Structure 1
Amino acid sequence: MLVYEGDKQQFLSDVQDNSIDQKIEMNMWSRLHKRVSQSEEQSWRNSLNYMQNVLLDSEIPNSSGVAIEFGIPNTNKRVDFILTGLDRANQHNAVIVELKQWSKVEPVPYIDQLLEAEIIDVQTRFSHGQQVVHHPSYQAWSYRSLISNFNANVHEIPIHLESCAYLHNYVPPKDDPLKQHYFQSLLEEAPVFYRSDVKKLREFIKKYIHTGDAKQTLYYIDNGEIRPSKSLQDSLTAMLRGNQEFILIDEQKIVYEQILSFARRSKEDGKKRVFIVQGGPGTGKTVVAINLLVQLINDDQVCAYVTKNSAPRNVFDAKLRSGAFKRKNISSLFKSSSAFIEADANNFGTLIVDEAHRLNKRSQLGPRITGEDQIKEIINASRCSVFFIDEDQKVTAQDYGDREQILYWASYFNAEVQEGMLLSQFRCNGSDGYLSWLDGVLGIQEETANPTLEGIDYDFQIVDDPNELRRLIEERNKADDKARIVAGYCWDWVSKNDAQSVPDITIDDFSMYWNLRGDGTYAITKESINQVGCIHTTQGLEFSYVGVIIGNDLRYEKGKVITDYTKRAKTDQSLKGLKGRIKKGDQEAMKTADIIIRNTYRTLLSRGMKGCYVYCTDAGLAQFLKTRIAGYVDEEESPLLAAEKE
């Protein structure tokens, strides 16, 4: 939706008589029902005065279309400025301009790792301090790609889109952080212009806008049908066919077909539907989800893959964008669970929610907590919503998603509900027995069909030295670069704010850092073998081999595996809100903390496809686990157990 629309002549007049900010503010309220802050008004006055100066060029036609604050459908993103017209071949053109008031920019210290993972960040100073943000060229290009991928008129008219960024306050230093060699491909997609580049920006615009269009191109953009473009469909199909990780097997295919039919019916009759899929670790929930995403895009549905945790989104985005399609923008298909607070009803055809047990009740955006209920918002925003869930993988006090809550909100919206189950194990060497054993030794289930690992074909080892754990994982990693070390959150993340700090995790002569700050693809980034992952960067993902460091929050005492919330790191947020209640004697809070710690290790210990190696900081727990691998040890033959019995 266009907040402000006019032609160049009208725009210049509105800026010159100081009414431009008032008109935008009134339209924001009348069209979007949004109130704006004083800082937003001030930014319009500042930036649009600079754009006025750019457009004071007689060769830029007066009848060129001007749009300000164009809302990109199905997102909460708005494009700062669009100028439209016809090129020399009489084709419709639109130039997207991302406006920035930045005056100082600095490179982030770990930029090489970020670029390896294709996360394009720089560091800038705002009034409230320093902040890491996307490169402005990336932002301009991504907005262009969003419009191109989902606006049918862009391809059918067609409309040629270009994009750039204008930093009108920025005077670059000699060694400009924004134009380093690793940003070259971004700058080719969307050039960046500075305070002294007015003439260069004018020439860029005039390459694409030769004659005016009387706002016709704006009309086409604003009224284009919102659906996936054919080029996006073709790219996704080719990518999926070439990726063996996403092939469906057995009941995965059955559940996939059931959901597909469900979603197609919602597209035909407009009725709300909710599909709940339950499945444990390694049963293929994500494989089904990604296949659904691609097929529904090819069905012309506007849909997205949703998780609370950014790690799975980043990894699957990167995997699908590999190869010849690296520059295709499909990041808009991967959304946070907090992205639907302001979404209109049925904005999406289908929303596919992976790791639905990790959903929060309310979304937190920066210091403000907004929204009412993430499950409600997701169901409201889509005709069909699909929830993949495993309630035994809740790992923080804020994890709220469960079957009962999904059914409650489905009933609220009068949605038809269907459920499915994924059972076959495709992780842990296909062994359901290993997961059963894991539930037993962790005390999650009292009775288990597999009290030991006898007869279970899975490489599980307890090691007595964390350096040996590291050696084993590094050796396994040589085969496929898919082995990683992870740990319980029992060590403070000191390096988060100080990259030059001592290593976060130190055990005698062993030391390593937590996973790289800003490394959104820890599971597949090459350098991650030298880092330790945590639950937040690994849940929903898998490795060929996983090395797990179990901290002192899980110990073996007096014949039982116990948890100890006090041994969690101060920087750990997973028990937020529980510790104070526990200190006051709240037994329910104590029970919740106990479950979270056990579930965390259950999740970490089930990440390995072929094997899992474990180091325990508690010697008693290490000894106990050893006795449960090959078979029970008689208590008289075990000095540790015998001493405890006395």
Structure 2
Amino acid sequence: MLLDVHTFQNRVHYDLDGLVSDLQDETRRTTASEAAAWRNSLPAFSRVLEQPALQPFHVQIGSLGGVEVEYRLPASASWADLVLLGRHEDKPSAVVVELKDWHTDGDEPGPREGLIRHNNRDALHPSDQVRGYVEYCRRFHSAVQSEDAQVHGCVFFTYASSADPYREAPHHALAESYPLFTRSEQDVTTEFPGYLTSRLSEPDGEFAERFSKGAYRQDRGFVRQISAAISNPETSPFVLLDEQRTGFQKCMKQVERILKPAKVSAKPKRSQKSVVIIEGPPGSGKSVIAAHLWASLAANDRVDGDIVMTTTSGSQKSNWASMFATASKQGAARGVVKTANQYNPGLSPIWVKNEREKGRPTLVSEWRENLAEYARQVDRLRCPDDAYAVSIVDEAHGLIDPVAPGREGVPPSGWCMHAGPQAWHIIRSSRVSIFLMDGDQSYRDNETTSRSSIVEFAKEFGVDNVEIVDLAGAQFRCGGSAEYMDWLDELLDLRAAGTHQGAWRKGHGGPFEFEIAESPIELESQLRSKLNEGHSVRLLASYARPWKTKKSYQPHDLPAADQDFAIECGVPGGLETWSRVWNYAPEQDYTLFVQAPEGCAMGADQLAEVGCPYVVRGFDFDTIGLLWLKDLVRRGDRWVANLDHIHESAWKKTRSQARKEGGSGPHADELLERLKRGYRILLSRGIRGAQIWFEDDETREFVEAKLGL
């Protein structure tokens, strides 16, 4: 919603309820807390704009995220609270304002520049938050790039009158670059208006309109810098080996065929598409190929369009974004990473509800009709056709297909089921779509996309020949032992006995170690020995324990009995409780567990938490320690899923149906299959080895027999 300042103030003063209602309709966010935040924040900001010098400018209002009014950044899941638009020094200018309706009493400086101690917990510093929005606009906003616009950012506390801890060390430089203003009289009447007028000196309605309708566009010079950092063999965390190089070359062949014109002056045909599927087991290097594909294409000036990395989970999103930012030393590098949910053209549950109120029976199975109707109603799609030159989808087996057989009604994790399959939209929105996948790593109920379904979707767009790249046999994890992965698949009955190539068992499978511990205490001791040698280690488990600490701000400080894992272990002289919490991920930041940065519990101790399959899928560590619990147990000649010990929230539908079957039936079989896939994910995260503790004696004895012990 784009308003001039005068209109904005009139609506705040005389029609606040109507303005809030309009924002709810436009943003599709209707909770009482969000409405209350609007009613408090908007009048506070309106008072800042009372200065006559600010009256001619425009205010961009978008959607509410959490408790703030926001403008959705192009092709992003992020929302900037408010944007003031105009000109300054003969250039278009934008000022992003982050509104914080926070109580700051008792807040303290945080342990790192980007973290503040708020409400007795570490939270993202508001200046760091607005820095992310500003950098994104500078590097990925079409109107900013095409007009060389200036972009600035600041924070306005709409409730608090003091923000001193936010400016103290280690936040000095951050607060100076992205200043903070409060509701104090001095800030509201002098400091904050002065900051705005020093960056907005005259209105520019045309730029305001172009900014409001801006699209995602990569700054080619910027992405070339990122590409150089990722491609540099001396500094890159991604190195191509053996079959990875073959896969990389095959992908490049397809990309060049579609995107590179025969002559420099020629233009590629926008309607022509290509689809590549790269398949391989855990550790075969799919993610390395994905990184090098992106880097090679980003550096090529003849590739016309944007090249994006696409992820299928919150853990992937935060970790890929962090790796790009770390490798390039550019925080805005996170902007090249997109989630599969962002390919939605704009359908939402609110739109579906409104359609039904009009009498149209909107159904998930009629998703093509839904898309056609939506396209008739809007000026432009949120994610248009051919929006990207190349989409590189890592962990594509995690894509959602709400119309896959037997998957109707499965919760979509933020995806509107009425929009249809995510893979279909990725192909629609991309001239080249590259899917890296392993069907045996599909883990959650809603991870329903297969190679065959992608091939069928491709045909709808005129792609009859999908390039398939097979990385089977390649193994760069598990000590380089492809035989270990074969043995693991046979152990879990994921392939028939005797069908694997070669043999593996403890002591005969190369450098990969596989050891069994007598207790969690011994397991931790073994891992600490590896940690002290300089190796990366992680504790892992499947969801055989409920996430009791999910809403705790400081789970590590809880008593042992209140933590997620509290296991009694026999020690000389009696019993000792071994305790841990599940992976702590405030604001969906899974880098805390996977990358263990300084300033967090995992940074201080890599064994402070236990990770689940969802968090670690796609990542590896030198040695993993697995708590093999009682959710998957061996009974006689078969594996059994123990329903009383399964707490995976993403299996609610399958688990409920399996329970109705009494543990025996098609849904129980499906639950068992997914459970075994979860253990396959966990047991294939180690580069050098795996240390295991078994909660169930019969299961341990079975594995020991398979190991030849």
Q: CA RMSD in A?
A: 3.6
- Structure 2 SS opposite 1:577: helix
Whichever residue aligns with residue 651 of structure 2, its letter is L
Report if aligned partners of 1:440, 1:451 keep a CA contact under 8 Å in 2: no
Q: Which residue of 2 aligns with 1:636?
A: none
Is the alpha carbon distance of 1:351 and 1:624 closer, same or farther for their aligned partners in structure 2, counting shifts above 3 Å? Answer: same
Note if 1:420 corresponds to 2:469.
yes
Q: 2:157 aligns with which of 167, 171, 194?
A: 167
Q: Which residue of 1 aligns with 2:679?
A: 601
- 588-597 vs 40-49, greater mean Cα deviation: 40-49
Count of paired positions = 606
1:278 CA drift (Å): 0.7
Note if 1:331 corresponds to 2:334.
yes
1:385 CA drift (Å): 2.0
Note if 1:358 corresponds to 2:398.
yes
- Structure 2 SS opposite 1:73: coil
1:71 CA drift (Å): 4.7
Is the alpha carbon distance of 1:365 and 1:483 closer, same or farther for their aligned partners in structure 2, counting shifts above 3 Å? Answer: closer
Q: Which residue of 2 aligns with 1:208?
A: 199
Report if aligned partners of 1:307, 1:313 keep a CA contact under 8 Å in 2: yes
Measured in 2, the distance between the counterparts of 1:274 and 1:132 equals: 43
Measured in 1, the distance between the counterparts of 2:671 and 2:493 equals: 14
Whichever residue aligns with residue 584 of structure 2, its letter is L
Measured in 1, the distance between the counterparts of 2:532 and 2:706 equals: 30
Measured in 2, the distance between the counterparts of 1:123 and 1:463 equals: 40
1:590 CA drift (Å): 1.2
Is the alpha carbon distance of 1:537 and 1:501 closer, same or farther for their aligned partners in structure 2, counting shifts above 3 Å? Answer: farther
Write the mapping of 1:415-454 to structure 2, written as runs, cut at 5 A: 415-416=463-464, 417-423=466-472, 424-448=474-498, 449=500, 450=502, 452-453=504-505
Note if 1:577 corresponds to 2:577.
no
- Structure 2 SS opposite 1:280: coil
Report if aligned partners of 1:25, 1:35 keep a CA contact under 8 Å in 2: no
Measured in 2, the distance between the counterparts of 1:465 and 1:9 equals: 69
Measured in 2, the distance between the counterparts of 1:38 and 1:397 equals: 28
Q: Which residue of 2 aligns with 1:528?
A: 606
Measured in 2, the distance between the counterparts of 1:15 and 1:72 equals: 24
Measured in 2, the distance between the counterparts of 1:186 and 1:415 equals: 49
Q: 1:512 aligns with which of 572, 580, 599?
A: 580
Measured in 2, the distance between the counterparts of 1:200 and 1:338 equals: 40
Write the mapping of 1:24-43 to structure 2, written as runs, cut at 5 A: 25=22, 37=30
Measured in 2, the distance between the counterparts of 1:367 and 1:349 equals: 23
Whichever residue aligns with residue 568 of structure 1, its letter is H
Measured in 1, the distance between the counterparts of 2:423 and 2:106 equals: 38
Q: Which residue of 2 aligns with 1:638?
A: none
Measured in 2, the distance between the counterparts of 1:120 and 1:272 equals: 47
- Structure 2 SS opposite 1:628: helix
Q: Which residue of 2 aligns with 1:82?
A: 83
Q: Deviations over 1:486-515 (max 9, x none)?
A: 122222222223422423223323332222
Q: Deviations over 1:199-258 (max 9, x none)?
A: 221111122223x14335435645777431144214312321253431222232232233
Measured in 2, the distance between the counterparts of 1:81 and 1:356 equals: 35
Is the alpha carbon distance of 1:579 and 1:289 closer, same or farther for their aligned partners in structure 2, counting shifts above 3 Å? Answer: same
Whichever residue aligns with residue 686 of structure 2, its letter is G
Note if 1:255 corresponds to 2:247.
yes
Q: Deviations over 1:232-287 (max 9, x none)?
A: 21431232125343122223223223323434554422223322111101111111
Measured in 1, the distance between the counterparts of 2:566 and 2:159 equals: 45
Note if 1:58 corresponds to 2:52.
yes
1:589 CA drift (Å): 0.6
Whichever residue aligns with residue 304 of structure 1, its letter is V
Consecutive unaligned residues of structure 2, counting only runs of 5 or more, are 63-70, 260-267, 347-382, 403-410, 570-575, 597-602
Report if aligned partners of 2:396, 2:436 keep a CA contact under 8 Å in 1: yes
Measured in 2, the distance between the counterparts of 1:556 and 1:42 equals: 54
Is the alpha carbon distance of 1:36 and 1:434 closer, same or farther for their aligned partners in structure 2, counting shifts above 3 Å? Answer: closer
Instruction: Give % identity.
Output: 23
Q: Deviations over 1:457-487 (max 9, x none)?
A: 0212222232222112111123345111212
- Structure 2 SS opposite 1:99: strand
Measured in 1, the distance between the counterparts of 2:674 and 2:333 equals: 34
Measured in 2, the distance between the counterparts of 1:272 and 1:21 equals: 46
1:606 CA drift (Å): 0.9
Whichever residue aligns with residue 410 of structure 1, its letter is A
Report if aligned partners of 2:312, 2:339 keep a CA contact under 8 Å in 1: yes
- 304-313 vs 69-78, greater mean Cα deviation: 69-78
Q: Which residue of 2 aligns with 1:4?
A: 2
Measured in 2, the distance between the counterparts of 1:391 and 1:402 equals: 7
Q: 1:303 aligns with which of 295, 301, 307?
A: 307
1:305 CA drift (Å): 2.1
- Structure 1 SS opposite 2:335: helix
Is the alpha carbon distance of 1:425 and 1:364 closer, same or farther for their aligned partners in structure 2, counting shifts above 3 Å? Answer: same
- Structure 1 SS opposite 2:658: helix
Consecutive unaligned residues of structure 1, counting only runs of 5 or more, are 125-130, 634-646
Write the mapping of 1:198-277 to structure 2, written as runs, cut at 5 A: 198=188, 199-210=190-201, 212-218=202-208, 221=211, 226-240=216-230, 241=232, 242-267=234-259, 268-270=268-270, 271-277=272-278
Is the alpha carbon distance of 1:122 and 1:596 closer, same or farther for their aligned partners in structure 2, counting shifts above 3 Å? Answer: farther
Measured in 2, the distance between the counterparts of 1:218 and 1:71 equals: 15
- Structure 2 SS opposite 1:274: strand
